[in-house]
Copies of this chain bind each other. A is one copy, B any other.
Amino acid sequence: MSTIAEPINLFDFEAIAKERLPTEEYDYIAGGATDEISVDRNRRAYASWAFRPRVLRNVSALDLSTTVLGTKVNLPVLIAPCGGHKKAHPEGEFATFRAAAASGTIFAVSANASADFAELAKAASGRLWLQLYPFRDREITKDWLKRAKDLGYEAICVTLDSQWPPKRERNIRNNYGNRRGVNFSNRGAENSQRRGAHPGGGDPAATWKDLEWIKSIAGLPVVAKGIMTGEDVELCTEAGADGVIVSNHGGRHLDNTLATVEVLSEAVAAAKGKLEIYLDGGIRRGADVVKAIALGAKAVFIGRPLFWGLAVDGEKGVIRVLDILREEIEITMAKCGRPTVASIDATTIVKAPPL
C-alpha cells in the first residue's frame, strides 16, 4: 500500500512504482553502471543552472509545441527507446504507445521492446520511431529498416553506446536475468547468432561506416543516440545523421561521465545547425526540460519516468507523467517570460555556482 495518496510529481511516481515493482525489477530500471555516479550526476547537474525570470512579457497564450525532424509535437518531451515495458505493466509498449499518442508526442520503440514492433505499429494511431543497434548481421538491419518504413515508423534511432556490456552491480547482486518474463521478440534472430558481444546491444566492431550504410538504405531520417562529445557530433554529421540524442544511456553503460546536460553545449556547438540535438538523462521536472532547450536541445526524451508511469497506472500513468511535465514547463515558460519554445534562448538561464 503506497504511502503517497496521489502522485503530484515524477518523484512520487518513482516512489509508488518502487513499492509496486519487485525489487530486482525496480533495481534494473533505476540502477546504473558501477558506482552510479553518472546516474546521480545526470540528475543533479540541472541544479547548476538557474533561471532568469522575466516579467511583463504577455504569457497569456503559452505554446509548448515544437518540431522534431520537421514535424510537430505537442510538447518538447518524447519517449526514449527503452527495452521491455512489460516489466512495468502487462500492456507494456501498447500502453505507452496510446499514452504518447494521446499526449501528442512520439514514442521511440526499443530494439529490445517486449512487443513486436510490427504489431505495435498496427495497434493504434500515433507516431513512432524505431530504435536499433549497428547489428553484426546486415541482413537483419535491412529487414528491420524496410519493415519500419513500410509500417509507418517516422525515423530510425541508432544506439551507439551499447556495443560492450556494462557492469551493473545491482543486477549482479540480484542475480537478475534481464529477459525474465519478457519477450524480446524483435531481437530473436540477431541475438541467437551473436557471440561474445553484449546481448541486447550492438556489434563492438562497428564503425562510422556502419552508420553511413544505415543512413544510405534507411529511407528515413536517422538519429544517432548515445553521443557525448563534440567530435562524435561532427562524425554523425559526416555520416549523414539527421539528429543526435546526447545521452549516456541514463548512466547505465559507462559510469564517471559528465551529465548529459553538461555536454549539451559542446554538442550543440559542434552540430553547427546541421542536425538537431536532443537530450535524455535525468529529466524529472519541467524546469529540466526548459534548461535543456535553453542550452540548445530541440527536445528531450524521458526513460525511467516512463516506467514509473506504467507501473503506477499503465497508459493513464504515462499520460499523467507527461501532463505533469507539461504543467511544470508551462509554469517555467510563463515565469521566464517565454511564451513559445522558440523563445527559450540562452539568456533564459545562467550558471548557478556551488554554494
A352's contact among B51, B228, B258, by CB below 8 Å, is which? B258
A167's contact among B172, B203, B328, by CB below 8 Å, is which? B328
Chain B residues with CB under 8 A of A346: none
Give a binary string over A204-243; 1 marks a CB under 8 Å from any B CB, 0 the rest. Answer: 1111101100000000000010111101100100000000
Chain B residues with CB under 8 A of A287: 34, 255-256
A selection of 29 A-B contacts at a CB cut-off of 8 Å is A33-B331, A34-B285, A34-B287, A41-B352, A49-B256, A50-B256, A51-B256, A52-B229, A53-B226, A53-B228, A53-B248, A53-B253, A54-B232, A55-B160, A55-B163, A55-B232, A56-B211, A58-B207, A59-B164, A59-B204, A59-B205, A60-B203, A164-B334, A164-B335, A165-B331, A254-B332, A255-B287, A354-B354, A354-B355
Q: Provide the bound-state CA to CA distance between A257 and B167, in Å.
A: 32
Range of interface residues on A (Cβ < 8 Å): 35 or more
Q: Does any Cβ of B come within 8 Å of A8's Cβ?
A: yes
- Closest B residue to A169 using CB positions: B8
Q: Does any Cβ of B come within 8 Å of A345's Cβ?
A: no
Q: Does any Cβ of B come within 8 Å of A173's Cβ?
A: yes
Q: Which 8 A-B pairs have the closest CB atoms?
A: A164-B334, A60-B205, A254-B335, A55-B160, A60-B204, A50-B258, A53-B228, A56-B208
Q: Does any Cβ of B come within 8 Å of A350's Cβ?
A: yes
Chain B residues with CB under 8 A of A161: 53, 55, 335
A352 to chain B, nearest CB (A): 6
Chain B residues with CB under 8 A of A8: 169, 172-173
Q: Does any Cβ of B come within 8 Å of A297's Cβ?
A: no
Chain B residues with CB under 8 A of A99: none
Q: Provide the bound-state CA to CA distance between A346 and B8, in Å.
A: 44
A237 to chain B, nearest CB (A): 13
A60 to chain B, nearest CB (A): 4
Q: Provide the bound-state CA to CA distance between A160 and B59, in Å.
A: 12
A53's contact among B206, B254, B331, B332, by CB below 8 Å, is which? B254
Q: Provide the bound-state CA to CA distance between A206 and B339, in Å.
A: 13
Chain B residues with CB under 8 A of A226: 53, 55
Q: Does any Cβ of B come within 8 Å of A138's Cβ?
A: no
Q: Does any Cβ of B come within 8 Å of A313's Cβ?
A: no
> B55 and A227: CB pair below 8 A?
yes
Q: Does any Cβ of B come within 8 Å of A44's Cβ?
A: yes
Chain B residues with CB under 8 A of A256: 46-47, 49-51, 287, 291, 332
Query: Given A34-B328, A50-B256, A163-B334, 14 more contacts at CB 8 Å?
Result: A9-B34, A46-B256, A51-B256, A53-B248, A55-B160, A56-B211, A56-B235, A58-B205, A60-B204, A161-B335, A166-B335, A167-B327, A167-B328, A354-B355
Q: Provide the bound-state CA to CA distance between A40 and B271, in Å.
A: 37
A38 to chain B, nearest CB (A): 8
A228's contact among B52, B167, B227, B355, by CB below 8 Å, is which? B52
> A206 and B257: CB pair below 8 A?
no
Q: Provide the bound-state CA to CA distance between A45 and B59, in Å.
A: 30
Q: Does any Cβ of B come within 8 Å of A57's Cβ?
A: yes
A336's contact among B37, B52, B210, B254, by CB below 8 Å, is which? B254
